[in-house]
């Protein structure tokens, strides 16, 4: 891929190129010079993997009021009603905006086709076969690349926020790009980096989902919220050697059955809605059932049987699922799919208001990176893409107070880090070992079912690993860099080593945040389930908040 020079200054920097980042960039005023930063390419994000669709009350039989109530019910007492109303009421107009941009949703005749997903009371999920996320992000990418005011900077990794100490305002970021570290100024920075599924050994997220936005915000003193709430998707393909490919909620919405080895629809043992219960309920039902019936939990699975769905509908609605399952030797027309839960979506994140503002001036957060209050303790299916679009659209109203940034930027000499090949290889091996064992630890101790003793053991282990990480020569060099101080490297395979270092650092912070938040909340609610506190506690109908090393509760929610 051809590399380009990065200007030292933009009006706005958007970090992340999934649905949230792309749509945000498009909605920013075209008079602004926008830098869109992505650590991979604009074609690779978790949004691109989103299959089910995007929820909106566009049918005469539906209404935003019903969408609001379904969302609040799924959120288990922690949704912000104002935010949910904002989301649902703006949804139809946002769908029209996507159609106007060229997103080709499926149709029945002239009408948009709508399907049912778990915990929705109406058919309200728009889709493009079973690759809705890809259709949306591909269309948005095409539009972004046509905009002369947007400069896309690919294979660039945001390392830290650049905070002005006198005003506590975000004035840019440090960036690893083309083998060196540079500092880029902006009047506003928008974090849209997605989730952190890679902190779990079993996840439906792509390899890029390492919690970067939440981690760099945490280190800069940004307030975070509800980090214990992770959604585990109930039905990820479970085959030796296969990625945990997500089998969409829409499959069950269209009539597929979740069955055990005896062919019994066991989910009804756990909830009257069976396989159409909320995701957290279905995931726990599978986990609990496997605990009672499986020999080896690591490879155990149940079955998703698509055969109750008419074959023509399967071909029309789920061509990508057919293709992926065939690749792994499963013929969905004649046999069920082996599935088990996997980490899918992070409800918590950076506290942001309806205009995406954080507690740090000139810093914004959009999409899964943010915690706007729309999801509460458990996200309703197909509200994630919707959140990206509805909240991304609000950035059209951005007010930049510092559009004329001070032109005087201190020019500091570049520092150089170098090690010999042997030392570089040792350091890389240490990083790779950390990167391999951390997700296993978090999955085993903060996965679907949690308890205090295991959480405390895992916290101690992660803190020990953080000390080991901090002792690495590369860590000591990078952490000591002053704001605006550039750096270059004499390292073997520098691009790989720096990315491995940065992502491992972020994952260690994310793991620590999830584990401590899960230990702090002594109840079960939504996506957070504790074996030792198995019921919701009315006194815990609060948000958990964290800033730097301080955890506290919000006031009780009504």
Q: Is 264 a catalytic residue?
A: no
Question: In 3D, which of 159, 259, 239, 218 has the Cα closest to residue 369?
Answer: 218
Would you list the DSSP string of 174-220?
EEEETTEEEEEEEEEEEE-----GGGSSSBSS-TT-S-HHHHHHHHT
Strands 180-191 vs 157-164: parallel, antiparallel or unpaired: unpaired
Question: Is residue 21 within 8 Å of 38, Cβ to Cβ?
Answer: yes
Question: Is residue 279 within 8 Å of 384, Cβ to Cβ?
Answer: no
H or E, element range at 331: none
Look up residue 322 and give its two tokens. Answer: 């057919």
Per DSSP, the three-state class of 93 is helix
Look up residue 510 and give its two tokens. Answer: 């994310």
Question: In 3D, which of 386, 368, 355 has the Cα closest to residue 58?
Answer: 386
- The active-site residue out of 279, 284, 505, 530 is 279
Question: Is residue 472 within 8 Å of 427, Cβ to Cβ?
Answer: yes
For residue 523, the 8-state DSSP code is: S
Per DSSP, the three-state class of 82 is helix
Question: In 3D, which of 201, 193, 164, 189 has the Cα closest to residue 506?
Answer: 193
**CA-to-CA separations, 416 to 411, 482, 491, in angstroms, rounded:** 16, 13, 10
Q: What number of CA atoms fall less than 13 Å from residue 362's CA on the CB side?
A: 24
**286 CB burial (10 A radius; 0-12, 13-18, 19+):** buried
Would you list the DSSP string of 23-76?
HHHHHS-TTS-EEEEESS-TT-STGGG--S-EE---STT--HHHHHHHHHHHTT
Look up residue 507 and give its two tokens. Answer: 């994952």
Phi-psi region of 219 (alpha: psi -120 to 50; beta: other; left: phi over 0): alpha
CA–CA distance, 148 with 153 (Å, rounded to integer) = 14
Q: Which residues have a catalytic role annotated?
A: 279
């Amino acid at each position: 891929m051809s590399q380009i020079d990065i200007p030292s200054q933009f009006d706005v920097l958007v970090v992340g190129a999934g649905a949230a980042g792309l749509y945000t960039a498009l909605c920013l005023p075209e008079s602004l010079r926008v830098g869109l930063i992505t650590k991979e390419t604009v074609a690779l994000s978790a949004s691109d993997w989103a299959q089910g669709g995007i929820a909106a009350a566009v049918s005469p039989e539906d209404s935003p009021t019903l969408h609001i109530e379904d969302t609040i019910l799924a959120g288990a007492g922690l949704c912000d009603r104002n935010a949910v109303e904002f989301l649902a009421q703006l949804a139809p107009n946002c769908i029209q905006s996507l159609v106007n941009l060229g997103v080709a949703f499926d149709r029945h005749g002239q009408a948009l086709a709508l399907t049912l997903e778990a915990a929705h009371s109406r058919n309200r999920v728009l889709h493009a076969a079973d690759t809705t996320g890809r259709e949306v992000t591909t269309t948005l990418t095409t539009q972004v690349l046509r905009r002369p005011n947007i400069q896309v900077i690919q294979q660039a990794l945001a390392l830290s926020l650049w905070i002005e100490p006198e005003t506590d305002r975000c004035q840019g970021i440090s960036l690893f790009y083309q083998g060196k570290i540079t500092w880029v100024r902006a009047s506003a920075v928008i974090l849209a980096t997605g989730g952190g599924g890679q902190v779990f050994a079993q996840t439906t997220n792509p390899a890029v989902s390492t919690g970067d936005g939440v981690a760099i915000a945490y280190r800069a003193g940004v307030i975070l919220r509800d980090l214990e709430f992770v959604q585990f998707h109930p039905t990820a393909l479970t085959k030796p050697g296969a990625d945990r490919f997500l089998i969409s909620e829409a499959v069950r919405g269209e009539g597929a059955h979740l069955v055990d080895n005896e062919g019994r629809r066991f989910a009804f043992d756990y909830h009257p809605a069976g396989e159409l219960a909320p995701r957290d309920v279905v995931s726990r039902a599978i986990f609990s059932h496997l605990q009672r019936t499986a020999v080896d939990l690591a490879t155990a699975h149940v079955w998703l049987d698509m055969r109750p769905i008419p074959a023509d509908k399967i071909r029309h609605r789920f061509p990508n699922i057919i293709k992926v399952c065939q690749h792994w030797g499963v013929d969905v027309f004649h046999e069920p799919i082996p599935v088990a839960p996997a980490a899918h979506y992070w409800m918590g994140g950076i506290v942001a208001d309806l205009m995406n503002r954080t507690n740090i001036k000139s810093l914004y957060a959009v999409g899964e990176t943010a915690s706007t209050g729309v999801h509460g303790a458990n996200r309703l299916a197909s509200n994630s893409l919707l959140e990206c679009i509805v909240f991304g659209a609000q950035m059209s109203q951005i007010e930049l107070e510092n559009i004329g940034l001070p032109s005087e930027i201190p020019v500091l000499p570049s520092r150089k880090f170098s090690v010999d090949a042997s030392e570089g290889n040792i350091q890389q091996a240490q990083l790779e070992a950390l990167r391999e064992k951390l997700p296993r630890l978090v999955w085993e101790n903060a996965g679907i079912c949690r308890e205090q003793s295991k959480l405390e053991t895992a916290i101690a282990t992660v803190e020990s690993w953080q000390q080991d990480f901090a002792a690495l020569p590369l860590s000591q060099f990078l952490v000591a860099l002053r704001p605006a101080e550039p750096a270059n490297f004499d390292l073997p395979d520098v691009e790989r080593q720096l990315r491995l270092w940065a992502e491992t650092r972020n994952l260690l912070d994310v793991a620590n945040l999830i584990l401590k938040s899960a230990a702090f909340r002594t109840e079960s609610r939504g996506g957070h389930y504790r074996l030792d506190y198995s019921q919701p506690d009315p006194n815990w109908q609060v948000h958990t908040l964290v800033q730097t090393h301080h955890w506290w509760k919000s006031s009780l929610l009504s």
